[in-house]
C-alpha cells in the first residue's frame, strides 16, 4: 500500500471523526428543547435523535454536492489529502473548543471555514482558490460561498427568529380565543391541557428536528470524502487498488456521492449523536429562556422547516443558528424581558468567529504541514 493511499485513508478516517464529533456537538441542537421541557428524558431524546439523524442522512445528497464541488475551485488548487486533513483538523479543534465552553457554534461553518482556510494556504494566500459566486439561470443552481454560505448564514437566523415568533404568536392567539369562548374550549386552553397536548406533539417536532439535522449536517462530511476521492483519482492514487479497496473509485467528479459514503457518514453521525452533548443542551435548553412544551414545539418546527428547505437547495445551513434563533423568537414573542440577552451575545460571538477561527486554524495546520515536508 502506497503512502499516498495511506494518507487518503487517513483523510477518510479524520472526516468520519469530524462526523462523530458533529453528532455529539450538534445533537444538543436537535434535542435541547425536548429535554428542557421534560417531554423526554435525555436518554430517550438521544435515541430518537440518533434514529432520525440516520434516516435524514439517507434522504438526499444536495448539500454534499455543494461541499464537494461548489466552494473550492479545483482548477486553481489541487485539494489533496494533506490539505483536507488540515481543513478537517481546523474544524475539529474549533468544535471541541466551543463544545468545552458550552457554546452552540456551527459545525457546518467550522467545516466550511476549515476547507476555505486550507485551500487558501495551499495556494500561498491566493483567495482565487475559492469559488465566491457562480450564477446560473435558476438561482437555486448558483454556486459559491456567497450563495451557499453567506446568504444562508444571514437569512437562516432571521428566518428562524421570525418563524418562531409567527408560530408561537399564532398558538397564543388561538389559545386566547378559545379561552374567551368559554365551555369545553376554555377548559382545553388551560395550561394543564396545553402542556399535555403539546407534550405529545413535541415528540413529533423533535423527530422532525432530528431528521432535518441529518438531511443537512451529515451530508457535509459526505462532500469532503467525495472531494478527497476525486482528487485521489486525478492524482493516480487509486490506480491498481487491491480488490478489497476497489469501492474507493469515485462515481463522477464530486457531483455524485457514492452510496457507501452516504451510509458510512449516516451511521457515524448517529453514533456520535448517541454520545450526547450535555454542555450545549444546558445552554440552549435552560440558559436562554424558560421553555414549555408549546414553546419547544414551535422552536423545533421552525428550525426543522428551515433546515429541510435549505437541504433541498443544497445549502449547508447551520443547525445551531436555526434552532438558537427559533428559541430566541419564541421567547421574544412571549416576553422580550424573559430572554437572557447576555447568553445570546456569547452565542452570537461564537457564530461570528467560527468561519475565520476554523479557517485560521486550518491555515496554520497547512503551514505546519508544509514546514515538516508533509505538504508540498
pLDDT digits (tens, 9 = 90+) for 51-63: 888 888 888 788 8
333 assigned to some structural domain: yes
Per-residue DSSP letter, 134: B
Cell numbers 466552494 correspond to 71
Q: What is the mean pLDDT of residues 181-200?
A: 82
CB 227 within 8 A of CB 254: yes
> Alpha-carbon distance 82 to 97, whole Å?
23
* pLDDT of 109: 86
285: nearest Cα among 49, 106, 33, 45: 33
- By residue range, what is the domain housing residue 296? 3-371
Task: With a cut of 80, say whether residue 92 has pLDDT above it.
Answer: yes
**Number of independent structural domains in the chain:** 1
**pTM for this one?**
0.81
Q: Which of the four pLDDT bands, split at 50, 70 and 90, describes residue 2?
A: confident
> Alpha-carbon distance 86 to 94, whole Å?
12
Q: What is the mean pLDDT of residues 152-168?
A: 90
Q: What is the mean pLDDT of residues 228-241?
A: 85
Interval 317-352: pLDDT, tens: 888 778 888 988 988 898 887 777 776 777 677 778
Q: Which residues contact 158 (CB under 8 A, 6 or more apart)?
A: 325
376 assigned to some structural domain: no
CB 40 within 8 A of CB 203: yes
Q: Which of the four pLDDT bands, split at 50, 70 and 90, describes residue 162?
A: very high
Per-residue DSSP letter, 123: T
314 assigned to some structural domain: yes
Using CA atoms, how far residue 247 sits from 31, 69, 238, 256, in Å, is 35, 20, 10, 14
Average pLDDT, the chain: 83
Amino acid at each position: 500500500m502506497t503512502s499516498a493511499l495511506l494518507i487518503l485513508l487517513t483523510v477518510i478516517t479524520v472526516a468520519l471523526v469530524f462526523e462523530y464529533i458533529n453528532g455529539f456537538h450538534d445533537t444538543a441542537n436537535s434535542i435541547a428543547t425536548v429535554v428542557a421541557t421534560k417531554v423526554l428524558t435525555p436518554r430517550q431524546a438521544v435515541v430518537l435523535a440518533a434514529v432520525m439523524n440516520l434516516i435524514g442522512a439517507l434522504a438526499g445528497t444536495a448539500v454534499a454536492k455543494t461541499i464537494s464541488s461548489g466552494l473550492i475551485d479545483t482548477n486553481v488548487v489541487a485539494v489533496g489529502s494533506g490539505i483536507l486533513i488540515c481543513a478537517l483538523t481546523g474544524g475539529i479543534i474549533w468544535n471541541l473548543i466551543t463544545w468545552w465552553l458550552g457554546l452552540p457554534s456551527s459545525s457546518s461553518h467550522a467545516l466550511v471555514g476549515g476547507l476555505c482556510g486550507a485551500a487558501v494556504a495551499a495556494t500561498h494566500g491566493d483567495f482565487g482558490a475559492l469559488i465566491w459566486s457562480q450564477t446560473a439561470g435558476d438561482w437555486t443552481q448558483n454556486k459559491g460561498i456567497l450563495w451557499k454560505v453567506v446568504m444562508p448564514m444571514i437569512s437562516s437566523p432571521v428566518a428562524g427568529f421570525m418563524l418562531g415568533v409567527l408560530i408561537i404568536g399564532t398558538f397564543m392567539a388561538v389559545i386566547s380565543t378559545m379561552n374567551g369562548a368559554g365551555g369545553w374550549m376554555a377548559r382545553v386552553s388551560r395550561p394543564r391541557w396545553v402542556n399535555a397536548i403539546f407534550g405529545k406533539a413535541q415528540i413529533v417536532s423533535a423527530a422532525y428536528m432530528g431528521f432535518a439535522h441529518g438531511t443537512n449536517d451529515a451530508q457535509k462530511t459526505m462532500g469532503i470524502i467525495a472531494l478527497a476521492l476525486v482528487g485521489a483519482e486525478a492524482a493516480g492514487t487509486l490506480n491498481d487498488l487491491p480488490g478489497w479497496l476497489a469501492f474507493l473509485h469515485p462515481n463522477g467528479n464530486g457531483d455524485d456521492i457514492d452510496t457507501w459514503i452516504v451510509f458510512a457518514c449516516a451511521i457515524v453521525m448517529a453514533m456520535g449523536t448517541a454520545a450526547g452533548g450535555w454542555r450545549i443542551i444546558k445552554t440552549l435548553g435552560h440558559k436562554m429562556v424558560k421553555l414549555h412544551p408549546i414553546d419547544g414545539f414551535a422552536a423545533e418546527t421552525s428550525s426543522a422547516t428551515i433546515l429541510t428547505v435549505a437541504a433541498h437547495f443544497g445549502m449547508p445551513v447551520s443547525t445551531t443558528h436555526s434552532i438558537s434563533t427559533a428559541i430566541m423568537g419564541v421567547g421574544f414573542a412571549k416576553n422580550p424581558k424573559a430572554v437572557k440577552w447576555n447568553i445570546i451575545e456569547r452565542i452570537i460571538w461564537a457564530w461570528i468567529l467560527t468561519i475565520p477561527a476554523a479557517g485560521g486554524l486550518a491555515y496554520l495546520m497547512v503551514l505546519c504541514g508544509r514546514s515538516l515536508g508533509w505538504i508540498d
